[in-house]
Structure 1
Amino acid sequence: MDSDDRREHSRTAMNAAVKVSHETQGEFVFSTRDVSDGGVFIVVEDAPFTPALGDEVSVQVQGLPVPAPILKMLVVRETNDGFGLQFKESAECQ
C-alpha cells in the first residue's frame, strides 16, 4: 500500500445509479465509480451538487427489482469529478 494512501477498506469498481438526497440541495441521481466496506464514490461531473465536507446525505441504489434501503452517509472527500461518501455508521465507530 502506498504510504500516502490512507484507505482503510479495499475498493471495488462498481457502476450503479444511486439517488442522493441532501437537506438543502435536493435530490440527484448519480453513478457510482467504486464501493468499499466503508463507503462509495459518486461521480457528479457537471451537476449543481456542492455539499460541504461533513454534510450528511441519504443514498439509495436505484434500478433494483425492490426498493433498496436508504442509507445515511457523510461527505468525506471531494475530487474534480465527484465525492467520496462514508457510511455514517462507519464514521461513528471511529
Structure 2
Amino acid sequence: MAGNDRREHIRTAMSAKVKVMHPELGEFVFSTRDISDGGVFIVVDATPFEPELGDTVTVQVQGLPVPAPVLDMIVVRRTRDGFGLQFEHNQH
C-alpha cells in the first residue's frame, strides 16, 4: 500500500460492542470498526466522549458467553468518527 499509511499491523474489519472506561469521563459502550494486533478503532457518534491523546482507558468486549478480559489501552488517534486505541504492552 502506497502513501503515508504508517500502520504497523494489518487491520481486520470487526464490529463488536465494547465497554470503554475512562477515569474522568466515565463508562461508555461503543462499536468497533476494526481490530489489529496493535489495537482497535472505536466508533463514537453523538456520545460526548472527548479523551485526550495519550489517555489510558480500560476496554472490555461485551456480549460474550463469558466475561472478556479487561484490557488497558491508550488513546493514540482521533478522527471525525472515533478513536484509535492501542493495546498497552505490559498487560498482566
TM-score range, shorter chain: over 0.9
Q: Deviations over 1:22-60 (max 9, x none)?
A: 000000000000000000000011101000000000000
For 1:83 and 1:29, how far apart are their aligned partners in 2? 13
* Aligned counterpart, 1:26: 26
What TM-score do the two structures reach when normalised by structure 1? 0.93
Letter aligned with residue 68 of structure 2: A
| Structure-2 residue corresponding to 1:72 | 72
Q: Scaled by the length of structure 2, what TM-score is found?
A: 0.95
Aligned residues: 90
Whole-angstrom distance in 2 between the partners of 1:38 and 1:30: 19
Q: Identical aligned pairs, as a percentage?
A: 71
* Residue in 2 that maps onto 1:83: 83
Which amino acid in structure 1 is aligned with residue 6 of structure 2?
Answer: R
Deviation, structure 1 residue 3: 3.2
| 1:65 shift after superposition | 0.3
Structure 1: where are the runs of 5+ without partners?
none
Deviation of residue 17 (structure 1)? 0.1
Q: Distance in 1 between matches of 2:9 and 2:66?
A: 28
Equivalent in the alignment of 2:35: 35
* Greater than 2 Å deviation, 4+ residue runs: none
Alignment partner, residue 13 of structure 1: 13
Matched, 1:60 2:60: yes
* CA–CA distance in structure 2, aligned partners of residues 88 and 55 of structure 1: 11
Which 5+ residue runs of structure 2 have no aligned equivalent? none
Cα RMSD of the aligned pairs, angstroms, is: 0.9
